[in-house]
Structure 1
Amino acid sequence: MRKAGRITSKVLDLVESAVSEGVSTKYLDTLAEAFIRDSGGKPSFLNYRPSGSKDLIPFPASLCVSINDEVVHGIPREDVILKRGDLVSVDCGVFYVGYHGDSARTFIVGDTTDECKKLIEVTKKCLALAIEQAVAGNRLHDISAAVQKYAESMNYGIVESMAGHGIGSSLHEEPAVPNIGKPKTGILLREGMTLAIEPMINMGRSGKIKIGKNGWTAYTVDGKPSAHFEHTVVVRKNKAEILTINLAKEEAIEVEGVIVESLGNAMFRVRMENNLEVIARVSGKIRINFIKILPGDRVKVQVSPYDLTKGRIVHRKT
């Protein structure tokens, strides 16, 4: 799932760089699908249809691209052209080696009003506060309550009729993760649970939506803009692990160790100086330079602060 999450995050990075005045939403979708497939994945959304929805057309794109008053599930089209000041919410799902990643961000085309900028920042903060609650021992609705409390304190509307969800080998799994709820209620969060947390926040106090003629796209009832941010996370004991984020180099922890076993497929068991062991994959840079790694070699490994048991080998000491 980490790889699916990283690909998902990179797709959104790519889309962000392409969002500009005069670009069609179909172009963004084409760009995203090509990157997903080049990365060895498949688009999770393409041809997706919820069970029990026989009359609904399968979703015809790899991205959901929703503009301004479109809350979610906007269908990319050649004739939908981005304009300066638009808010563009992009939701992406990637299926990779049996697991899904799911993430969303809202971008600005050029510049926009202070009110729209504030909406985006509030929605981001709602997601951050929600993720803080995704720790083992908390209850599911602690996540929901965090979104509700902050959004309402800022006088924004919360989309109540749509929710986040469990995620794993299926794109949508139990439990549903609503964006409103009472603290200390809902199921107990256990370490290892994987959740897609996704606040959808509307400007103004109304969280009501309506579904468009295509059967997919949700709009705000009052025509005001909406923002959407989402991450796939793993519930941990002290701090949730975010899967749909690319670990910045400065955030990674670099440690030295010795290769003790080759596991095949460019994977090795590495014993650190504190005798802890890490399962590490050889980085692309080492493979490109044809540097051979053998048991007994001393190496430098980058590990995530969220999971110290896995990492990547970035340097062989000579």
Structure 2
Amino acid sequence: MTPTVLVVGLGGTITMTPGAGGGVTPALSPADLLAGVPGLADLPVTLETTDFRRLASGSLGIDDITALAGLLRSRLGEHHAGAVVVQGTDTIEETAYLLDLYHAGPQPVVVTGAMRHPGQAGADGPGNLLAAVRTAASEAARNLGCLVVLADEIHAARRVRKTHTTAGSTFQSPDGGPLGYVVEGRPRLLNRLPRRPALDPPAATRPPRVPLLTMSLGDDGVLLDDLGGRVDGAVIAGFGGGHVPQSLVEKVQKLAEQVPVVLASRAGSGPVLTETYGYPGSERDLLARGLVPAGFLDPFKARLLLCALLSSGATPRAIESAFAAS
């Protein structure tokens, strides 16, 4: 049986055309995009399309991606090999990870986009879309959850980050590298990540309020003042292995006594430490005061995991367990 791939459009640079007021804006549907991909018609794949959103990716919200996760759960059947989600690159590292948290099926969900819009020389959208469809249709990609495919590289949603504002090679996985590559039109997987149990997408309610607070030199902690009464949780992106200024320790502890607080690193790669440093404001000190270490998750993904856990009504112990397994 010919495999079927569902292609869902969210908008983004890959879909943009010049607007009347200058600049480019999302305009192309998934069907429009697929029609412009050389070689796609020659693949032994049946394509279905859904025009789900037409937004710049920075305007997508948690509720949009939660709704998309619900659509994928309802639409992906046994005859589907996988799905491709087309969107802007600004938030791919976050949307893909949130989809990964909610995706339970064996079919790969492949997120892709473009760094150059269709009106630019060397537009990369068609090549990325072709590689994404090939990956979504591949048996090798099954049971890998949500993947990000650009520039013929296959990344795990849990690891990938956008590292440059304009470069075609912007998507990197600092902790471990890509899972594989699309070589001569065939996805080649070189390593795999263990799947985590999927979370159930929440009912249509207000997403939890979880701010991300990034430490910086000389930070006076003004954003921490009386924060606990206004949020449902928080993520602190600390220095290095997970550190904050000594002067902010009491404010951080007060917040952790009111809501779950996750400690991540602003460094962008590497884990939060748990037992190396012992001075006030170090990781040992903060964890003893009730903060939860994010492990290898970067601050953006740590925030999304905490949001998803809070939406599901997870207990403090369950939150700790989920981050320990990240």
Superposition TM-score, scaled by structure 2 size: 0.26
Superposition TM-score, scaled by structure 1 size: 0.26
More strand by share: 1
More helix by share: 2
> Which structure's relative contact order is higher, taking Cα pairs within 8 Å and 6+ residues apart?
1
